[in-house]
Amino acid sequence: MTAARDAVFDRLAEHRRATEGVTLRELFAKDPARFETFSVAQDDLLYDFSKTHVTAETLSLLVKLATACGLESRREEMFSGAKINTTEDRAVLHTALRAPEGSKILVDGVDVMPEVLAERAKAAAFAEDVRSGELRGATGKTFTDIVNIGIGGSDLGPAMAAIALSPYAQKGLTGHFVSNVDGAHIADTLKDLDPASTLVLVASKTFTTLETMANARAARAWLVEALGEKAVAAHFAAISTNAEAVSAFGMDTDRMFQFWDWVGGRYSLWSVIGLSFEILIGAENFQKFLDGGHEIDRHFREEPIARNIPALMGLIGVWHRNICGWPSHAVLPYDQRLARFPAYLQQLDMESNGKSVTRDGQPVSTRTGPVVWGEPGTNGQHAFYQLLHQGSDVVPADILMAAVPHENVGDQHAMLLANALAQGEAFMRGRTTEEAAEILRKAGKSDAEIAALAPHKTFPGSRPTATIAYRTLDPRTLGRLIALYEHKVFTQGVIWGINSFDQWGVELGKELASRLIPVIKGEAGTNDLDGSTKGLVEHLARLRGG
Ligand SMILES: O=P(O)(O)OC[C@H]1O[C@](O)(CO)[C@@H](O)[C@@H]1O
């Protein structure tokens, strides 16, 4: 398989060498129908990749690459519950979490769907009871504030989705998301809350994560101080795969919502990890979110690769990363409520594909996941777009936009869309030195001034972007967007031959932090530490008055 893949990589590299000088402007000039050829719709959602350098030949080679790597068979393995996360001996079935009633998905010969549906119903009933006031705090007050304590996949998803779908949130209910072990996070969150009307959800797949357990203890102490030990059961719920750890922590497993080891943390928003956000938007909207994800599962599973949006996103990303050699990828939502979407995608993409060994433990022979980053437009325009337009590195980007806003504030949505489109156009067209000189000439500048200024006002252009445009950011569309990126990441993992579903790279830091806690507290010595760490510990100790 690697040999077949590398042969296609070689052909792609050769194709790149032959076409490298061709600009995006030239591609559009040569083929005015590029937009029709190089865009794919899934209902109202359009993926336009015409502003990348992909041509019919590139596309055909990328499809060959997918075939050479067995994308279709690996995709089927995932959907059918095979244990493709080999280092943890686990199936990868976040797709089951959004599968409709009547689906049958086997893990070790057992259909997981009855449990999935039962837990989905239990979470929906709980969410509705909190929303209606049926379920109340220990003193009889209805809940007004939902505090989700989690980190990584147990935080980023619900926190991102709560912002994205805030127009659907019930009035009088506020979501709070505490993740950082920095005590400032929990302290700032709790300081203005009334314990009597606060519901705390402790979300952790393992229920052993240092940050989450520390914050959960702090929240518990805060509640107990105000309402007494007896109030804990009414104000806390646990979300985990680990019932034993939940009871060891002193929490009632009756108030536990469960998911399964075949759900990766960064793929868990679809499970009961989404409970905080489900309480905010309601069970009906949460179901629409799941349905949106499932629509993309069907699209990914059924569409031919050349018309398959997540597969194309993945393959074009491989083209940018491996063949063009561009090391990062920006996500630029022109949709303020997707403000945390780039951060969410950082975990999804970088924790999945930031790997250097193949599935069988051999060093990879290609570059793997890019650095993923981004901020909403138009804010990014006034911050880092300078580099995107004129910096010495090319940064391929996704530009996301909704046709219809939730609120019509004057003509601001037209302004937003105009900016989004203008940026895509500017990245594509650029501005030649001659064009810059002409503008300066028309502005009455002298020849000397033109010569001095024109290079600074030149834009290289030919910087690729893909645009994802959809009707409106509703629950279904958020589900579709997330699932698109999940399958993009999957596609790339298959091409690179890596396991996208483990995350061993986060362990070393955790181990060293556990060893350093007693050192910082002065309960263990510094002798075993390297010179720098020892020096820093001692410097901090002096500043702390130790
Ligand atoms: O849900 P848990 O088990 O607390 O883990 C939180 C996060 O920590 C990680 O394991 C990384 O440290 C992520 O993969 C995960 O989403």
Residue 433 lies in a domain: no
Q: What is the CATH number of the domain that holds 538?
A: 1.10.1390
Do 356 and 269 sit in the same domain of this protein?
A: no
Decide if pLDDT at 546 tops 80: no
CATH number at residue 322: 3.40.50.10490
Residue 446 lies in a domain: no
Q: What is the pLDDT of residues 452-472, one digit of tens each?
A: 999 999 999 999 999 999 999
What is the rounded end-to-end Cα distance, in angstroms, of the chain? 59
340 and 213 in a common domain? no
Any domain includes 42: no
Any domain includes 278:
yes
Q: Is 480 found in the same domain as 336?
A: yes
- Shared-domain flag, residues 276 and 344: no
Strand partners, 199: 146
Q: What are phi and psi of 536, to 5 degrees?
A: -70, -40
CA angle 262, 239, 126 (to 5 degrees): 115
Asked whether residue 253 carries a pLDDT value surpassing 90, the answer given is no
Pair (214, 138) in one structural domain = yes
Least confident of 58-62, 243-247, 458-462, 494-498: 243-247
Q: Of 255, 286, 317, which residue constitutes the final position of a domain?
A: 286
Question: What integer pLDDT is reported at residue 254 of this predicted model?
Answer: 87
**Nearest C-alpha neighbor of 290 from the set 307, 308, 269, 273:** 269
Regarding whether 498 and 521 lie in a shared domain, the answer is no
Which protein residue has the closest C-alpha to ligand 1 atom 9?
Answer: 152
Assign residue 488 a region: left if phi > 0, alpha if psi is -120 to 50, beta otherwise?
Answer: alpha
Smallest Cα–Cα separation from 49: which of 353, 58, 345, 30?
58
Same domain, 195 and 310: no
Q: Which domain holds residue 393?
A: 2-23+54-68+305-425+470-503
Considering the domain architecture, whether residues 205 and 311 belong to the same structural domain is answered as no
Query: Are residues 282 and 146 part of one domain?
Result: yes
Angstrom distance (rounded) from CA 74 to CA 77: 5
Q: Is residue 139 part of a domain?
A: yes
Q: What is the pLDDT of residue 184?
A: 98
Are 199 and 64 found together in one domain? no
Is 242 close to ligand 1, i.e. is its CB under 6 Å away? no
Give mean pLDDT, residues 363-374: 97
Q: pLDDT at position 83, please?
A: 97
Q: Give the DSSP letter of residue 346.
A: I
Minimum CA distance residue for ligand 1 atom 4: 204
Pairing of strands 198-203, 145-149: parallel
Same domain as 330, residue 245: no
Give residue 43's pLDDT: 98
100 falls within a domain: no
Q: Evaluate whether residue 291 is within a structural domain.
A: no
Determine, yes or no, domain membership for 430.
Answer: no
In short, whether 153's Cβ falls inside 6 Å of ligand 1 is yes
CA-nearest residue, atom 8 of ligand 1: 152
Q: Domains in the chain: how many in total?
A: 3
For residue 533, whether the previous peptide bond is cis, meaning omega lies within 30 degrees of 0, is no
**One domain for residues 183 and 267:** yes
Average pLDDT over the chain, rounded to an integer: 97
Q: What is the largest CA-CA distance in the chain?
A: 82
pLDDT tens digits, one per residue of 376-423: 999 999 999 999 999 999 999 999 999 999 999 999 999 999 999 999
Mean pLDDT over 255-282 rounds to: 97
For a ligand 1 pocket test, name from 154, 273, 346 the mutation site with the most ligand atoms within 8 angstroms of its C-beta: 154
